[in-house]
Structure 1
Amino acid sequence: MDTLSDVLAILRPQTFVSAGLDAGKEWAIQFPPHDGIKFNAILKGTCYLQVEGDENVYLLHAGDCFLLTSGRRFVMGSDLSIPTIHSDTIFSHAKDGIATCNGGGSCFLTGARFHFGDQSARLLFGQLPPVVYVPEKYDQAAVLRWGIERFTTEFRSERFGRRTILEHLAPIMLVQTLRIYMSSPGAKNTGWFAAVVHPNLGVVMQAIHSRPQEKWTVESLSELAYMSRSGFALKFRQVIGQSPLEYLTQWRMFMAAEYLKSTDQSISEIALAVGYESESSFSAAFKKVMGAAPRSYKGSAVK
């Protein structure tokens, strides 16, 4: 069972290839808040990045990548102390998908935006830091660097099938970035990623994701984790921020939402598939988590 792939399959990210940026001389650009997450890769030169609410200032080099996960305003530039210009000033005049600042030539970056219209996005990205920074020097980033090279080649080309290639490469780069984050010290404290890589909780996460229809109890899940019932319940809440059964219910509803959107199964069939023998109990749980009754949710998804 691949827990990360399972969650990404439920999320079904939509890829929006953003314009590249070719900047020259001294520059600083203010970017507004944005929906979803942004993946970016520095292809040439260096620049600085600072995200609103994050005290860190990142010095980015060619080959570095980063995810912007919070939708906050951010500033990029060769010097963040100089007056900024709004991103619309140059991106409104982009040509062939590339915006130019001060004639370009010094720094080039490109990226993609992933927008998720479903509440389930918070499961994966809600507890990530505002910036997930992946330096080029990381040995484990080799696949990501390959993706950057291929992405760059396709981004600058006008070859047949360009859009299709970009739409498949961007999620690969996203997954590789998340893999790197999951193996970093910052991912091993709290949150969904911490639970997935935890030596005891990881097997529980796999069980919940792969067999949501089973009649799980805190006791049966604690046995999988080789922990006492009370110790497991406490550790799970400390890491995830929810009780085991709260998380189980949330995941069941996310799966049910996917079934409602992508299959012709009846509500009673979906209820059974996610562990509910009573359609009314399932409907009540679904509305509590997703904010709408199953029939209403399915109707809005079809439109």
Structure 2
Amino acid sequence: MNADHWLKYITAEGIVISQSHLKGDWGIEMASADGSYFHFVAQGGAFFSIDGMDEVQLCAGDLIVLPQGDAHKLKRTKNSSTVSLGHFVKHSNGLHRKDPDATSFLCGAIGIDRHMVMPAIKSLPRSLHLKAGSGNVAPTTIEVLKQLRTEVENAQLGSQVVIRNLLSTLFVYVLREWSENAKAEAGTWFSAMQNPHIAKALACIHERPNHNWTLDRLAQEANLSRSTFANQFRDSVGETPHSYLTRWRLGIAAQLLNQTTLSIGEIAYKVGYRSEFSFNRAFKAARGRTAAKERESRQPQGTPLLVPTK
């Protein structure tokens, strides 16, 4: 089933933490973070490792994404020693060694509204390796990887803006490809997206958050009995239909608070709340602050939580 009904509401922002062109031995050890990491190798090669998984060799043009922000290491060779991200950024970020054998790479984070996509993030593998020369990666994704490599290798005016946009596009492509093509494990959000009954109910929630959705009404849309729908939804998505609906509504509300001048009452109505009071109560319970405080912050949508640098 086409996943555009949820992806069109997802915004992502690529944040570059470090960009270097290094010769010789080097290594970075990154602590776990409440966000999504990425590493992109434009030239040369590197080795990526995460506890409990086989080490991965990265070649020129490869991108690796850690959706759940697991602790990991990135090294020039398998035996290279590592330093903390904070130490590396202080001493090696921005260095450019003029040597054809140097490794050119980006390290950073992907900013997303994790409240909205948490079930999807939890369903993704701990790391996603996009190989530039792989036939398993969509042509559109390969093209963006090529563009990213060009921008990193040939930095020009505006390259940082282009790089951030390309990284954002790549992450959305990753989510789209995984939701449509991967053999999702049973009991995960992506398996729910591939279940025509549950996917129909999810599409209803995503496209019409202001509708007065009830369990009975969503079950009818899914063409399932009330009890069967409730059980299948909870088992595959990982939460009840009501919980998912609430979180999605408040995610859309957060976007509207940051991106529009609509009043809080108007936003409440647009996402399915018939009173500003009930909306504010739900928003604070889910987000930890009132809708007014959310609007005051006016942070760009998708800004990631701070990545630890020590």
- Is the contact made by 1:93 and 1:99 (CA closer than 8 Å) also made in structure 2? no
Q: Give the aligned residue type for 2:188.
A: G
Question: Comparing both chains, which one has the higher relative contact order based on Cα–Cα distances under 8 Å and sequence gaps of 6 or more?
Answer: 2
Aligned to 1:7: 9
Please give the alpha-carbon distance, in whole angstroms, between the structure 1 residues aligned to 2:108 and 2:66: 11
Aligned to 2:209: 212
Aligned to 1:133: 129
Please give the alpha-carbon distance, in whole angstroms, between the structure 1 residues aligned to 2:222 and 2:5: 16
Moved more, 156-165 or 146-155: 156-165
Aligned to 2:171: 174
Deviation at 1:215, TM superposition (A): 1.2
- When the two chains are superposed, the root-mean-square deviation of aligned CA atoms in Å is 3.1
Moved more, 119-128 or 252-261: 119-128
Say which SS state the counterpart of residue 239 (structure 1) adopts: helix
Say which SS state the counterpart of residue 261 (structure 2) adopts: coil
Map residues 1-303 of structure 1 onto 2, 5 A cutoff.
Answer: 2-9=4-11, 13-24=12-23, 28-34=27-33, 36-52=35-51, 54-81=52-79, 83-94=81-92, 97-98=94-95, 105=101, 107-116=103-112, 119-120=115-116, 122-136=118-132, 137-185=134-182, 187-301=184-298
Q: Deviations over 1:221-264 (max 9, x none)?
A: 12222222211111111111111111111111111222222222
Q: Any stretches of 5+ residues in structure 2 without a counterpart?
A: 301-310
- Is the contact made by 2:131 and 2:137 (CA closer than 8 Å) also made in structure 1? no
- Is the contact made by 2:185 and 2:191 (CA closer than 8 Å) also made in structure 1? yes
- Is the contact made by 1:39 and 1:174 (CA closer than 8 Å) also made in structure 2? no
Structure 1 residues 187 and 4: alpha-carbon distance in aligned structure 2, compared to 1, 3 A threshold: farther
Say which SS state the counterpart of residue 19 (structure 1) adopts: strand
Q: Give the aligned residue type for 1:130.
A: R
Deviation at 1:87, TM superposition (A): 4.4
Say which SS state the counterpart of residue 76 (structure 1) adopts: strand
Q: TM-score, normalised by structure 2?
A: 0.81
Q: Any stretches of 5+ residues in structure 1 without a counterpart?
A: none
Deviation at 1:31, TM superposition (A): 2.8
- Is the contact made by 1:187 and 1:193 (CA closer than 8 Å) also made in structure 2? yes
Deviation at 1:117, TM superposition (A): 6.9
Say which SS state the counterpart of residue 29 (structure 1) adopts: strand
Please give the alpha-carbon distance, in whole angstroms, between the structure 1 residues aligned to 2:240 and 2:31: 36
Structure 1 residues 161 and 239: alpha-carbon distance in aligned structure 2, compared to 1, 3 A threshold: same
Q: How many residues end up aligned between the 2 structures?
A: 297
- Is the contact made by 1:287 and 1:294 (CA closer than 8 Å) also made in structure 2? yes
Q: Give the aligned residue type for 1:203.
A: K
Please give the alpha-carbon distance, in whole angstroms, between the structure 2 residues aligned to 1:235 and 1:293: 33
Q: TM-score, normalised by structure 1?
A: 0.82
Q: Deviations over 1:197-218 (max 9, x none)?
A: 3322222111101101111122
Q: Give the aligned residue type for 2:90.
A: S
Deviation at 1:37, TM superposition (A): 1.7
Aligned to 2:303: none
Identity %: 25
